[in-house]
């Protein structure tokens, strides 16, 4: 297979992955289980799938004792991110949490100088102000449940922390190993809070065929498969194209939600204008970094 054909196929795969990630919000709302049980079920199914994939591809997953702690922290971050994300959806609707999650990259730009002891990036600071202005515009009239808003902000902060941690971990381990152990520890942490360990609500939830089917799709397709393939496609797709495409996830999800739920997901014109400002700030950030990279060459 030629390089150009491989790049094209991987680009199509990347769009498929973004579509799958965009569908997770819909599935999270459709599954009639608590956010904790959804996250726990998703994690367990994904871990089993990745373990089977590692055996099939003969990739080692062993860890040294000193390597475990950062992966435990990563597991706590991703478990917390998913829990707050699904809780925000159930507390408000799909559109509000996804709009707020669009600001995750700007939390990263604020945190990186602290955790990496690097120089503060002023262009990212100004773009973050633009993004936050968009969020303020989007949320000014439409948000009736601020509990959902704060949950979504917490989800965004946890995702930013998770991304910064993984930025370091992927330089030390194979991506599959990082993903497997983070999800494993996330499942372990979530087990302590899941109703499965106390009153059997999890078993009652998955006894409904619709819940079980959606949970399996969420764990196998949207978590394990999408995670592994998202790493694979970066072998031929530049980081610029990858990030630009990933930023389409909120657009896909909000579009899905509108056509699936109709009027319950309709927001005012100001909300969508604010959301477009957030996406614009993200696009400008990526374009600026791409320009700097091109100039350097």
How many CB atoms within 10 Å of residue 280?
14
**214 φ, ψ to 5°?**
-65, -35
How many CB atoms within 10 Å of residue 5?
9
The span from the CA of 30 to the CA of 32, in Å, is: 6
Q: What is the DSSP letter of 102?
A: T
The span from the CA of 92 to the CA of 194, in Å, is: 22
- pLDDT at residue 55, rounded to an integer: 93
The span from the CA of 293 to the CA of 234, in Å, is: 17
Q: What is the DSSP letter of 200?
A: S
- pLDDT at residue 243, rounded to an integer: 58
Helix 3-30 with 68-91: angle, nearest 10 deg: 60
How many CB atoms within 10 Å of residue 64?
6
| CA-to-CA separations, 176 to 22, 76, 130, 144, 227, in angstroms, rounded | 22, 18, 36, 41, 9
- pLDDT at residue 266, rounded to an integer: 64
Q: What is the DSSP letter of 218?
A: I
How many CB atoms within 10 Å of residue 37?
25
- pLDDT at residue 240, rounded to an integer: 47
Q: Give me the numbers of helices (H) and strands (E) for the chain, helices first please.
A: 14, 0
The span from the CA of 231 to the CA of 238, in Å, is: 12
- pLDDT mean for each 10 residues of the chain (297 residues): 68 84 82 84 93 91 86 90 85 75 73 72 74 71 69 88 80 83 89 64 80 92 84 64 64 73 66 77 71 57
- pLDDT at residue 194, rounded to an integer: 66
């Amino acid at each position: 297979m030629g390089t150009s054909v491989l790049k094209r196929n991987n680009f199509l795969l990347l769009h498929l992955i973004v579509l799958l990630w965009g569908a997770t919000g819909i599935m999270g709302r459709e599954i009639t289980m608590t956010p904790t049980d959804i996250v726990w079920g998703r994690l367990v199914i994904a871990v089993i799938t990745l373990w089977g994939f590692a055996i099939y591809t003969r990739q080692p997953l062993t860890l040294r004792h000193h390597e475990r702690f950062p992966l435990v922290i990563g597991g706590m971050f991703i478990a917390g991110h998913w829990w707050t994300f699904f809780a925000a959806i159930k507390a408000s609707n799909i559109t509000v949490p996804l709009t707020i999650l669009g600001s995750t990259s700007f939390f990263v730009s604020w945190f990186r100088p602290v955790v990496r002891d690097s120089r503060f990036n002023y262009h990212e600071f100004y773009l973050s102000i633009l993004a936050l202005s968009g969020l303020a515009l989007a949320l000014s009239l439409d948000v009736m449940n601020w509990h959902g808003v704060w949950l979504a902000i917490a989800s965004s902060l946890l995702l930013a922390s998770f991304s910064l941690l993984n930025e370091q971990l992927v330089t030390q381990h194979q991506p599959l190993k990082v993903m497997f152990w983070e999800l494993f520890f996330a499942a372990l942490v979530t087990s302590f809070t899941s109703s499965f360990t106390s009153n059997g609500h999890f078993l009652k939830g998955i006894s409904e065929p619709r819940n079980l089917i959606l949970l399996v799709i969420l764990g196998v397709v949207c978590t394990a498969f999408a995670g592994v393939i998202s790493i694979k496609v970066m072998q031929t797709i530049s980081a610029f194209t990858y990030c630009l495409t990933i930023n389409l996830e909120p657009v896909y999800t909000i579009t899905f939600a509108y056509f699936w739920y109709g009027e319950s997901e309709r927001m005012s014109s100001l909300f969508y204008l604010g959301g477009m400002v957030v996406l614009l700030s993200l696009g400008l950030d990526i374009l600026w970094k791409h320009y700097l990279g091109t100039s350097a060459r």
